[in-house]
Amino acid sequence: MWKEFKKFALKGNVVDLAVAVVIGAAFGKIVSSLVDNIIMPLVGLLLGGYDFSKLSIKVMDAEIKYGVFIQNVVDFLIIAFTIFMAIRLLTKFKKKEEAVEEVVPEIDTKEELLREIRDLLKEEKKL
């Protein structure tokens, strides 16, 4: 059972996924900091000095913090847009690679046979 687990855990896909999760978590923190500390204060200044994180409504004993929600929506939109752009860029690179691969002409079967005969004749001369 341990050998099976090691084989599974050390597969490229699992390791790649683990790396992606760690990088994604760190990236999420960076984006959250960007939204909380740079973007939202600038948006607040543009809207007359509002601090979105302090916006809330009090309904009886419950406090609804819709300003934090607005910050989280902006956070999500930035992350989603960044992922979209990264995937778009990777797709363009992949299409370019496929185009380069398609340019390589296929070798005719007659040419392949002639090459094999040539290689066999070279080997005979060496012996």
The pLDDT tens digits of the residues spanning 28-76 come to: 888 888 877 888 778 778 877 666 777 788 888 888 888 888 878 887 8
Task: Output the CA–CA distances (angstroms, integers) from residue 25 to 70, 105, 112, in the order listed.
Answer: 21, 45, 52
Q: How many domains does the chain have?
A: 1
Range of the domain at 116: 2-126
pTM for this entry: 0.48
User: What pLDDT does 17 receive?
Assistant: 75
Residue 68 CB coordination number (10 Å): 15
The DSSP code sequence of 26-63 is HHHHHHHHHIIIIIHHHHHHHTTS--GGG--EEETTEE
CATH number at residue 17: 1.10.1200.120
Sole residue written with tokens 């543009």: 46
**Helix or strand holding residue 18 (H, E):** helix 12-34
Q: Which residue has the higher pLDDT, 57 or 98?
A: 57
First to last CA, the chain: 53
The whole-angstrom separation of Cα 78 and Cα 28 is: 10
User: What pLDDT does 1 receive?
Assistant: 77
